[in-house]
Amino acid sequence: MSNVSLVQRASNSARLRRNLSIGIRLVIAILLIIFSVFPVLWMISASFNPTGSLATQTLIPPNAGLDNYRKLLTSQEFPFWRWMWNSIKISSITSVLSLSITTVAAYAFSRFRFRGRLTMLKGILLLNVFPGLLALVATFLMISQLGDVFPAFGLNTHASLILVYLGGAMGINIWLIKGYIDTIPRDIDESAMMEGASDWQIFTMLILPLLRPILIVIAIISYIGTYGEFVLARVLLKSSEQYTLMVGLQIFAGAQFQQRWGVFAAGALLGALPIMLIYLLLQDHIIGGLTQGAVKG
């Protein structure tokens, strides 16, 4: 009986510890969910608050309505749809160009052997160590001087902003894609060469389809990072017609932030819809791209 009693006590103790561990995890998970969801709920509540004031803001506004959304979408004071289109256009062009250039460069670094290859790779990695904000003044001056020669790439143009975004995004993306290409067996290249395929044919017909998961992930990350970027867009863009959504909303709410909080919240929620749609439509590809590279061989 004593042995049975000891076994039961040990079993009960193990069950108690397991239940306690599960309870602690549930509490932590609930706290993290509340911590992450509460700001979104607060923004949703503020977007329906007709007072537009932070001082009287409550989670459930007493006189909730669509006045803030109506003012946001119909007022001539600020071109919301133009700002959103500018953000979508700049993010899309930047993502496509960045992905095209970095994929070709990563393939060259992975498959070809040429003088200065390792030095260039280390230089790219070293440049990405320093934050881009350190070169903000230099970037502004270069774009300003470039505009004197090529006005299309000067200040207050989307082309200049895309050019700066491309320079900042390609470095780390080259390393990510190169690491993924390194996991693809070289036997594929050698077999294609035996059949008389050129390097470009090998890249476009054999290697590129295998890169689909990582390319989708990098494209989404690049798009989201560009879509939500504020500092460079605020420095390089000067007119309301050229503003991105983030810059436009900040300037709109900056003068009278408390009185315009409801409209600002409505604009922020509507501006987040493209990113939400991207995640919902491509979530399977995102997970696949983040996991396949670790087990590919």
Q: Considering only 62-71, 79-88, 178-187, which range has the smallest mean pLDDT?
A: 62-71
Higher per-residue pLDDT: 141 or 49: 141
Same structural domain for residues 120 and 33? no
- What pLDDT, on a 0 to 100 scale, did the predictor assign at position 297? 41
Q: Is 158 helix (H, G, I), strand (E, B) or coil?
A: helix
Same structural domain for residues 75 and 15? no
Same structural domain for residues 152 and 248? yes
Is residue 178's pLDDT more than 80? yes
**Strand runs (DSSP E) across the chain, as ranges?**
none
Which domain covers residue 21, as residue numbers? 2-68
User: What mean pLDDT comes out for the span 270-274?
Assistant: 88
Q: Which of 259, 284, 278 is nearest to 88 (CA)?
A: 278
Same structural domain for residues 7 and 45? yes
Residue 202 near residue 189, CB atoms below 8 Å: yes
- What pLDDT, on a 0 to 100 scale, did the predictor assign at position 287? 62
Residue 99 near residue 215, CB atoms below 8 Å: yes
Residue 17: pLDDT band with limits 50, 70, 90: confident
Is residue 4's pLDDT more than 60? no
Is residue 264's pLDDT more than 90? no
Residue 99 near residue 211, CB atoms below 8 Å: no
Tell me the C-alpha distance between 252 and 262, whole Å: 12
Residue 158: pLDDT band with limits 50, 70, 90: very high
57, HSE (Cβ side, Cα atoms, 13 Å): 19
Same structural domain for residues 47 and 104? no
Residue after which a domain boundary falls, among 40, 68, 96: 68
Same structural domain for residues 81 and 192? yes
Residue 294: pLDDT band with limits 50, 70, 90: very low
- What pLDDT, on a 0 to 100 scale, did the predictor assign at position 295? 42
Overall domain count for the chain: 2
Q: Considering only 42-46, 131-135, 152-156, 233-237, which range has the smallest mean pLDDT?
A: 131-135
- What pLDDT, on a 0 to 100 scale, did the predictor assign at position 67? 82
- What pLDDT, on a 0 to 100 scale, did the predictor assign at position 296? 43
Q: Please state whether the predicted TM-score (pTM) of the whole model is above 0.85.
A: no
Task: Calculate the average pLDDT of the chain.
Answer: 82
Backbone angles phi, psi at 244, to 5 degrees: -85, 175
Higher per-residue pLDDT: 127 or 175: 175
Is residue 25's pLDDT more than 70? yes
Same structural domain for residues 199 and 133? yes
Tell me the C-alpha distance between 109 and 126, whole Å: 16
Taking only the tens place, the pLDDT of each residue in 92-102 is: 999 999 999 89
User: What mean pLDDT comes out for the span 277-282?
Assistant: 82
Residue 250 maps to which CATH number? 1.10.3720.10
Residue after which a domain boundary falls, among 18, 41, 68: 68
- What pLDDT, on a 0 to 100 scale, did the predictor assign at position 259? 64
Same structural domain for residues 102 and 162? yes
Is residue 52's pLDDT more than 70? no
User: What mean pLDDT comes out for the span 265-275?
Assistant: 87
Higher per-residue pLDDT: 282 or 271: 271
Same structural domain for residues 35 and 90? no
Q: Which of 82-91, 178-187, 264-273 has the highest mean pLDDT?
A: 82-91
Q: Give first-to-last CA distance, the chain, whole Å.
A: 56
Is residue 50's pLDDT more than 80? no
Same structural domain for residues 117 and 14? no
Tell me the C-alpha distance between 233 and 229, whole Å: 7
Same structural domain for residues 80 and 197? yes
User: What mean pLDDT comes out for the span 165-178?
Assistant: 83
Taking only the tens place, the pLDDT of each residue in 187-219 is: 888 888 888 888 888 888 888 888 888 888 888
Same structural domain for residues 130 and 152? yes
- What pLDDT, on a 0 to 100 scale, did the predictor assign at position 91? 93
Is residue 15's pLDDT more than 90? no
Residue after which a domain boundary falls, among 41, 68, 95: 68
Q: What tokens were used for 222?
A: 């690049």
Q: For the range 95-100, what are the long-range contacts, defined as Cβ-Cβ under 8 Å and sequence gap of 24 or more?
A: 95/219, 95/222, 95/223, 95/226, 96/219, 97/162, 97/166, 98/165, 98/166, 98/169, 98/170, 98/173, 98/222, 99/173, 99/215, 99/218, 99/219, 99/222
